[in-house]
Each structure stands twice: as C-alpha cells, then as structure tokens.
Chains A and B, each alone.
Chain A
C-alpha cells in the first residue's frame, strides 16, 4: 500500500498550536512546569513545543532530553543504541510533561517514567504525544494530550518527519 499522509505542514502546525494552548490551560505560566522529550524521536517534538510556548508566553521554558535505553525491558531482545540525556534542571516537585512523537505499546513511556526518577520526584507527570495508535497498548499508559488518534495494525508504522532533521514536517502511515 502507498504511504498515507496523516498530517502535513499547515495541519501539523495547527495541531501543535492546539496542544500548546491545551498545555497553557493547565500549566498557566509554566513557572512550576517543565518539558521532557524522550529520545530518540520525541526530542524534536519537545523542542518544537518549547519554541511555540516560548513564543506565546514570552518567557523561557525548561526543556530536557531523556534517554530510556538503560531502563528498557526489551534490552537483549533487540539492538539498542543509547542517546544523550540532557536535563540541566531539577524536576523535584515540578509538573513534568513527558513528550514523545508516537504512543504505541507504551513501553518507551514506562521506561521513561523510570528514567525520569533519577532526576527527582516530580509532583505530577503528564504525557503528550503527537500520534496515539489506540488499541495497541501492552501496558496501562494513556496520554493526556493527543495530537491525532489513529487506528493501525502491527504491520504498519507511523513515521514522523521534522523540518530540522528530515527536511519536512509530516506524519505518514506506512506498511512495514
């Protein structure tokens, strides 16, 4: 089957802006809130959201990158390459918004929750994803903020491209 484009350019921009305003509704001026993007692909979404929020709120928003490799439960089942963790703020008693591009089995988020605890005990953790592949969860994890909910099967992949790395903002559904 031909790859199906789910979101692109303007549509994607509208979705991201909506997610930002949903965040502001809950987190007000972000004085007690921080953003953490999950490596490898969630960090691009996190940095994009950070930039948009900074534009709207006219202030600096804390944003970090978190690698989950050492906390995964499928270590030894497949080859994993660690990425950089870069969190230069304390998350103790903060409201943390975990960000990933696609929510599928939920295992990455589970590992992310574990990994995050190395940086303190947050007062509250929420999950934001761009694409939620519903009915495919292996663990009981749901996102609070969702860009797009889709139905997909295990032989399909959702690919999120970003202008910064892939030259174009686009979400596509492809057959493996």
Chain B
C-alpha cells in the first residue's frame, strides 16, 4: 500500500486503517522536515490550495496554511465573514467560482455536517475537511493519534478516554473512528446530557465518573465545552461542570499512574483543565500543535499525489 484509497479526506469514517497508517508514517518524515533549518520542500509547487473557512478558526487555519507553505503550494484564503456569502451566494457557486480560477485543492471548514461530502460530489477538486459542524474533524484525529503514538508506540489495546462535551464535538467523533481503527479501547466521559444517546453503538464505553475514567485510561483527551453550539442549557452552570468534570493538579497527582493529557484547543483554562495541568509535564498539548503541521503536510502531499 503506497497510496491513499480515497481522493478526498472527508472524514476518518471514509478511510481505511492502511490509509491512517500511511498518513501517520508520512507525517513522521514531514516532522523531520519541519525541524530542519530550512523547513520547506518543493513537493506541491504546482498546486494551488484554497482555504475556505466558513466558521472561525485560528489553530487549524494557521496549521493548514503553514503546512501548505512548507510544501511550496500557492494558497488563497477565504473567510465567510468578509465574502459574498453574506450577499446570498450558495456554497456550490462560491466554490465553483474559486475553482474557475484554477484551484486544485480545497480545505474547508463549515458549520453544516456533511458540507465537505456534499462538495466532493459536486466539484472537481481534492477536498480536505477541516471540520464540518459537529460531524468530523479528520486531521485533528490524525494528529491526536500521531501524538499518542509518539508517546505510547502502537495504540493497539491502549486505553483512551475522551472527556467533556461529546455531543457537540467533531473531534470526539473523528477520534473515536480513528482510535478504533488503530485498535485502541475508547471510553467517553461527561455529563449524561452531553453524551449522545446511541454512542455505545459505535463500540465505545460510557462513564460518568471522571476519577474512575482517569484511573482506567492511559491518555485523557479533555474537550472544550462548546457553548456556541449549545442552544439549550445542558448543565446547570460552568462552575458545577468544573467541579464534576474539570481536571486539576490535585486530581491528576492522586491517580495511581501517570497518564497523558491532551486537549484539541482552544483551552478554557480553569473550566475543563486548570492551568497547572495544561502546563504540566504530562500534558502534550503543544506537541499536538506541532504535529498538526506535519500531519496536514502528509495529508495534502498524499492527496496531491493521487492521479
């Protein structure tokens, strides 16, 4: 297997275990590249990529842009707030107009689940999903898996907990698919109102007690409470959430083993994790950000390599 089985990266659901392994292996080479004195390679010098962000983002957008620049691709950026979308243009019209300017690849974040899949059927360009609503965020799951592999080696049989707002999180869903394909055991933990009703049908276990979850796992991925997606109250107050599901240093130090702490960002310090946990030696949050560039380089390199 030396190439991806898909033309687009729409979600982890649509790719195979071999695809994931190929992306992670290629990312290792790119991690070496971005740690060189000259961090740039000319692989995508003939490719133009459009970054379409219909939803706000700092990390993902910067990470994709850096990845493109380090592959020598030409890039154009687009954000919904300053575009003709406000004047009533449809998604397909917007994208087709951009493609008419000879763009080869599109990186898109959109608030509607399935937006990337929809686009891939309608337009002639390679699509990379950078987050579609509460559906999937495949590159985040890949960089999380890459960061875990760096610390733990093979993830087969490893115990991974995803804690927090599972219901509104695209990171949770992509992580579940990715980790399961790599053979890890996944447990989700959070208030019952923030855990989707049929999540167990995906083969994950559910726990509502944070301490029990942390005692069980090798890695805890702490998610942010996505207040912007919550149209009703899912828990009484942020303070109560923090008391029951916030991770502080005292709880972390009281565990019987040293677990790895991850967070996809942005962190709400003092809500899901406290500052001393986020900055502790067990946290690999900044490694995740560094690895994000390498993983995104690998994804775009491999997609561009397909005929």
Contacts and interface: CB of A to CB of B under 8 A. Distances in A.
Contacts of A132: none
A114 B42 contact: yes
A119 B305 contact: no
A114 B301 CA distance: 18
Given A67-B29, A85-B29, A75 B305 contact: yes
Given A71-B42, A76-B305, A82 B36 contact: no
Contacts of A71: 41-43
Given A117-B38, A118-B37, A120-B37, A75 B43 contact: yes
B2 A76 contact: no
B307 A70 contact: no
A82 B26 CA distance: 7
Contacts of A120: 37
Nearest to B301: A70
Which interface class (under 10, 10 to 19, 20 to 34, 35 or more) fits B? 10 to 19
| B2, B43, B304: most-surrounded residue (chain A CB, <10 A) | B43
| A71, A76, A120: most-surrounded residue (chain B CB, <10 A) | A76
Interface string B1-38: 01100000000000000000000001011001100111
| A67, A71, A75, A80: most-surrounded residue (chain B CB, <10 A) | A75
A118 B36 CA distance: 7
A84 B37 CA distance: 17
A117 B38 CA distance: 8
Interface in A101-128: 114-115, 117-120
A130 to B, nearest CB: 26
| B3, B42, B304: most-surrounded residue (chain A CB, <10 A) | B42
Contacts of B28: 84
Given A70-B41, A118-B36, A79 B29 contact: no
A82 B294 CA distance: 14
A84 B2 contact: no
Contacts of A85: 29, 32-33
Nearest to B29: A82
A26 interface: no
Contacts of B305: 75-76, 79-80
Q: Which 3 A-B residue pairs are closest in the complex by CB-CB distance?
A: A70-B41, A118-B38, A82-B29
Given A76-B305, A85-B29, 13 more contacts: A67-B29, A69-B43, A70-B41, A70-B42, A70-B301, A71-B42, A76-B307, A79-B305, A82-B29, A84-B32, A85-B33, A119-B36, A119-B38
